[in-house]
Amino acid sequence: MAQEDLFKKLVSHCKEYGYVFQSSEVYDGLSAVYDYGQYGVELKNNIKKYWWDSMVLLYENVVGLDSAIFMHPTIWKASGHVDAFNDPLVDNKDSKKRYRADVLIEDQRAKFEGKIEKEITKAKKRFGEAFNEDQFKETNPRVLANQGKIDELTARFAKAMNDNDLEGLKQIILDYEISCPVSGTKNWTDVRQFNLMFSTEMGSTAEGASKIYLRPETAQGIFVNYLNVQKTGRMKLPFGIAQIGKAFRNEIVARQFIFRMREFEQMEMQYFVRPGEEMKWFKHWKQFRMKWHQSLGFGSENYRFHDHDKLAHYANAATDIEFKYPFGFKEVEGIHSRTDYDLKQHQEYSGKKFQFFDPELNESYTPYVVETSIGVDRMFLQVISASYTEEEIKKENGKTDSRVVLSLPAFLAPVKLAVFPLIKKDGLPDIAREIINELKFDFYCQYDEKDSIGKRYRRHDAIGTPFCVTVDHQTATDRTVTIRHRDTMEQERVKIEDLKRIIGENVSYEKALRSL
RNA sequence: GCGGGAAUAGCUCAGAGGUAGAGCAUCAGCUUCCCAAGCUGAGGGUCGCGGGUUCGAAUCCCGUUUCCCGCUCCA
């Protein structure tokens, strides 16, 4: 199947079977926002539980946290998001290319600097040993002219950026005749501001209200609680804080279904380590996180690392775990060595000491941080796209038949068990109900008596239910039922009293967690 | 945001200026002793939304919203 077709089928399957709906659909939808339906929410919760348990249960030095979405606005100044997440953008109408206006202007300034350098190199050749660079820079008319342009440009640019003056930025682009590197033309749109952070007001009156942001990442909530957790939990380095929560980014381009949304959910763990040991832990978490993904059995060939060459200002090492989605290898998780940047920033802005006294070294230092950060929604899409399969089956009469199955790992499946009476009479429905009433305390069960038994099996294949139990006439005499396995379609006859154990063993998280 | 394509029933689509359709799905009933597509009946659409052209618009035109494909960033 063509990958593009597969993706389209996946999206409609998600809607048709109650996994994912577009937000506000009855009002024509809201762009890049999606809702999780009755099965979607179960799968999502199960994914979150698997991640949480693999961090908080398996590592005795990793603890959880649930910090608020609203945080003090200074946090986002300290983290660099207020400045870095605020891009003035401009489009060239001919090449259709989009640029950051500030980058275009800085490139222009670099061009002027390049011209000065050229003059200096030329002069050096001409004057030889006697060349006095400082004097040359102060007297040469061409150098002075370019330096004048640089100074004027720098001043105007700084003022426009400070005042948030978009028209001013556009005017700089026009005045300095900056052209598009691709089309070479100066046919620009207006400069527009794209603030990647959503903001709102906190406070009951408009005058007294202060602007606060919806967090663009959950990490900062961990950093600002570092001291609280470290002290109250008596944590010794190295230790980690794990958190699952919503984050918000006003993406310019948000697409590919739930892969890139404006409201999304992250599972992050910040691991605080002794400076100098960060690469050891970076490697550890890199391997562990990859193992976690591969434990789901979707095939190791569908994963790869993508190491970053260009690093963010706070990082000294970074890698992505990429999964092969129907639209190609894309990042599902990032592992970053964030140095002591964040804690140092908060130390500076808050005036509190974010230091740890290390009794072994007998000294205090600001811990380094290794971060693992995975998108829940991207993980959800990974699970769904890896599990969606269309099968051709040879029937006994020689005809072919097809079925759509979500081969979800059993412990992640929304519905664990469906119970059917083979026919809806002779007391069979009552027995089926009895079984559900006994097992509903442990598993999400569903009852179905509509249509032929085959249809009922297929309906549950489509939502990924791993087990279907059928009550037949033999059940009434010997208290046994058939249990049918989703992936093989094979059946076995078991005692009703053994169902809880059999299903329990198969849908437990334990086996997956033990494999890590 | 820009360019290109699309939007008709829950899903997949037909309908190309003259009464809104099919298959599947859903619901009710019948049938059925284990793998969808037997039988009967029912419900469900102001054709994404708004305007225009026309005696008449799902159909032609304009705008708008949403989705898909490219251009950048990220979880």
Distance from CA(A313) to C1'(B60), angstroms, rounded: 56
| pLDDT number for residue A289 | 97
Distance CA A418, CA A39 (A): 14
Distance from CA(A258) to C1'(B49), angstroms, rounded: 25
| pLDDT number for residue A396 | 65
SS (H, E, C) A349-385: HHCCCCCEEECCCCEEECCEEEEEEEEHHHHHHHHHH
Asked if residues A237 and A367 have their Cβ atoms less than 8 Å apart, the reply is yes
Domain boundaries, chain A: 1-71+196-390, 86-194, 410-514
Residue with tokens 């908080």: A56
Q: Is A201 helix (H, G, I), strand (E, B) or coil?
A: strand
Considering Cα of A170, then A172, then A176, then A180, what sign does the dihedral take? negative
CATH number of A1-71+196-390: 3.30.930.10
Q: Report if CB A257 to strand B is under 7 Å.
A: yes
For nucleotide B72, give the residue with the nearest CA to its C1': A98
Nucleotide nearest to A320 (CA to C1'): B75
Question: Which positions of strand B lie within 7 Å of protein CB atoms?
Answer: 1-3, 10-12, 25-28, 31-38, 48-49, 65-75
Q: Is A307 helix (H, G, I), strand (E, B) or coil?
A: strand
Q: Phi and psi dihedrals of A7, rounded to 5?
A: -65, -45
Distance from CA(A265) to C1'(B40), angstroms, rounded: 49
Distance from CA(A130) to C1'(B11), angstroms, rounded: 83
Distance from CA(A390) to C1'(B47), angstroms, rounded: 32
Nucleotide nearest to A247 (CA to C1'): B75
- A 366-385: CB within 7 Å of strand B: 373-375, 377-378
Asked if residues A336 and A233 have their Cβ atoms less than 8 Å apart, the reply is no
Q: Report if CB A327 to strand B is under 7 Å.
A: yes
- A416 to each of A43, A46, A508, how far by Cα in Å? 11, 12, 10
Task: State yes or no: cis peptide before A73, omega within 30 of 0.
Answer: no
Distance CA A157, CA A88 (A): 12
Distance from CA(A423) to C1'(B37), angstroms, rounded: 19
3-state helix, strand, coil in chain A (%, to 5): 45, 25, 30
- A 265-294: CB within 7 Å of strand B: 266
Distance CA A179, CA A165 (A): 20
DSSP E strand boundaries for A340-488: 356-358, 363-365, 368-375, 388-394, 400-406, 417-421, 445-447, 467-471, 480-485
Tokens of A426: 């002779």
Q: Is A265 helix (H, G, I), strand (E, B) or coil?
A: strand
- A 217-256: CB within 7 Å of strand B: 217, 249, 251-256
Distance from CA(A34) to C1'(B57), angstroms, rounded: 34
| Amino acid making up residue A35 | D
Nucleotide nearest to A491 (CA to C1'): B34
Nearest in space to A7 (alpha carbons), one of A294, A293, A381, A321: A381
- A100 to each of A81, A84, A190, how far by Cα in Å? 16, 12, 12
Q: Burial of A62 by CB count in 10 Å (0-12 exposed, 13-18 middle, 19+ buried)?
A: buried
Q: Report if CB A181 to strand B is under 7 Å.
A: no
Distance from CA(A452) to C1'(B5), angstroms, rounded: 41
What's the longest Cα–Cα distance across chain A? 111
Distance CA A240, CA A333 (A): 17
User: Do A1-71+196-390 and A410-514 have matching folds?
Assistant: no
Distance from CA(A281) to C1'(B75), angstroms, rounded: 21
Distance from CA(A25) to C1'(B57), angstroms, rounded: 26
Q: Is A18 helix (H, G, I), strand (E, B) or coil?
A: coil
Q: Phi and psi dihedrals of A268, rounded to 5?
A: -125, 145
| pLDDT number for residue A333 | 94
For nucleotide B69, give the residue with the nearest CA to its C1': A4
Bridge partners of residue A269, in order along the sequence? A242, A372
Distance from CA(A221) to C1'(B9), angstroms, rounded: 47
- A 41-60: CB within 7 Å of strand B: none
Asked if residues A215 and A132 have their Cβ atoms less than 8 Å apart, the reply is no
Torsion of Cα atoms, A159 then A162 then A166 then A167, to 10°: -30
Q: Report if CB A448 to strand B is under 7 Å.
A: no
- A 120-159: CB within 7 Å of strand B: none
| pLDDT number for residue A50 | 97
Distance from CA(A197) to C1'(B73), angstroms, rounded: 13
Q: Kindly give, in sequence order, each residue whose CB lies less than 8 Å from that of residue A450, ignoring residues fewer than 6 positions away.
A: A456
CATH entry 3.30.40.230 includes domain A86-194: yes
Q: Kindly give, in sequence order, each residue whose CB lies less than 8 Å from that of residue A442, ignoring residues fewer than 6 positions away.
A: A500, A503, A504
pLDDT means over runs of 10, chain A (516 residues)? 74 89 83 89 96 97 96 90 71 65 75 78 77 78 80 77 71 75 67 76 71 91 95 94 93 79 93 95 96 95 85 82 88 93 93 91 94 95 91 72 90 95 90 94 93 92 94 92 94 95 95 94
| pLDDT number for residue A163 | 65
DSSP state of A341: H
Nucleotide nearest to A29 (CA to C1'): B66
Strands A480-485 and A491-495: antiparallel
Q: Report if CB A3 to strand B is under 7 Å.
A: no
Q: Report if CB A342 to strand B is under 7 Å.
A: no
Q: Report if CB A198 to strand B is under 7 Å.
A: no
ipTM over 0.90: no
Full-model pTM: 0.83
Distance from CA(A28) to C1'(B49), angstroms, rounded: 8
Q: Report if CB A197 to strand B is under 7 Å.
A: no
- Domain A410-514: CATH class, spelled out: alpha beta
- A21 to each of A34, A39, A41, A263, A382, how far by Cα in Å? 6, 11, 11, 14, 17
